[in-house]
Structure 1
């Protein structure tokens, strides 16, 4: 497991990438960031994931999120693989990949960040990288992590949804309920009194009645 938890400052590592050497915090600047790892170049599931990420990269840009990927091969392999990735969607064939890929051929960064999948190994018996997602806030702190095994491709629409929730709840004293999406009602956090909630949310607060009689299910429009 990585040696950092939600709320910890994300490691400010240096790495070679398809756009040259970067230092993560400098690369992110004042933006939000999403770092997502891939088991290996020229593999089927990874190619579909990167192609999806490239196709919807404008959605991340709209949210002020910088994207960066990681795979355990070299920069040269990454650049060659990127052509396959962009050709997966016919409309992007020949276009450059809209985000960099970190080269981690020695698996040093994967080890530091707790990304290795013990059940998936290459032909030499060395563990491959799992499908990690780290969302990093403008304060460089870890806001969310999701860990998928190498055999399961992730859902980028869900990633956009959780980023919408993270950005909303960073600004307002609300929480997002199950299956929330932008435009839906949100929940008033329990630490706010009814009087504080009424003052903060002029659109009004509604409370769902439950058998316990406790008034904790409070909804409002953000």
Structure 2
């Protein structure tokens, strides 16, 4: 399978660098470039890429606003208005690009539905890994710094959803959400709960459906917001 990607960054040299690196791979095709968020949203609607790499800080429309437009449920606009040519395309995943590991907007990006973030000074191998992981529908949350960063922003902002939100979940689903928030992968969670991989996937699917979670990144955020996982400051 060839992964179709677009790159959005207002710095031409950075954008070209990412394009040239990705173009060396047989399984990745760059189908568009954008210098701001508005152009990125338009290109996503036209090209329907698998992955959109968006710089967080861009003119006219920043990366977070673009992510919200791209990832809003079909038939809806980010502000709840009438759908237009900015209606997102199903299946596109968003990977945010940032210069700083503790960028103040990273939490907002993940809360908007982005599957993760990547530092602009990432190595070639890290870039390729990030694009492939996100394209597969997974969240780029493995690095410890990412988990600490999400925890820190959740701690600063406090819970955004009422604790009663978990009333629709079974006790097992709460356990699964808690372990996801702690950064465990599926194999580790299944072993911890002494259940099969298939049973775990069933619990995760039901959990995501009930809480309207897009991916693992949002599940981690929710676990912190509901205080199922104790936040800790990054450092």
TM-score (norm 1): 0.31
TM-score (norm 2): 0.29
Higher helix share: 2
* Greater Rg by CA: 1
Higher relative contact order (CA 8 A, sep 6+): 1
Higher strand share: 1
